Structure 1
Amino acid sequence: METILDKIIAKKSETIEELYKRKEELKTVVQSKERRSLLNKIMQAEALSVIAEFKRASPSKGDINVEKDPKEQAKMYELYGADAISVLTDTPFFKGSYEDLAKVREAVNLPILCKDFIVDKIQIDFAKAYGADLILLIAAALEDEKLHELYTYATKLGLEVLLEVHNEEELERALKTDAPLIGVNNRDLKTFEVSLETTEKLAGKIKNSGRYMVSESGIATFEDILKVTSSGANAVLVGETFMKATDLESKIKEMKVSLGGLR
Structure 2
Amino acid sequence: MSNSAVARIESADDDHLSARDFKRIADLIGDEVGIKLPPGKRLMIEGRLRKRVRALGLPSLDAYSAYLFQTDGLRAERPHLINAVTTNKTDFFREPEHFDLLEQKLVPDLIALRRGERQPMLKIWSAASSTGAEAFTLAMVLADLMAQRNDFRFAILGTDISTTVLEQGERAVYATELLAPVPPAKAQRYLMHARKPGARAEVRIVPELRRLVRFARLNLMDKTYPFDRDIDVIFLRNVLIYFDKADQEKVILRLVEHLRPGGYLILGHSESMIGTAVTMRQVAPAVFQKA
TM-score where L is the length of structure 2:
0.30
Structure 1-normalised TM-score?
0.32
> Greater Rg, structure 1 or structure 2?
2
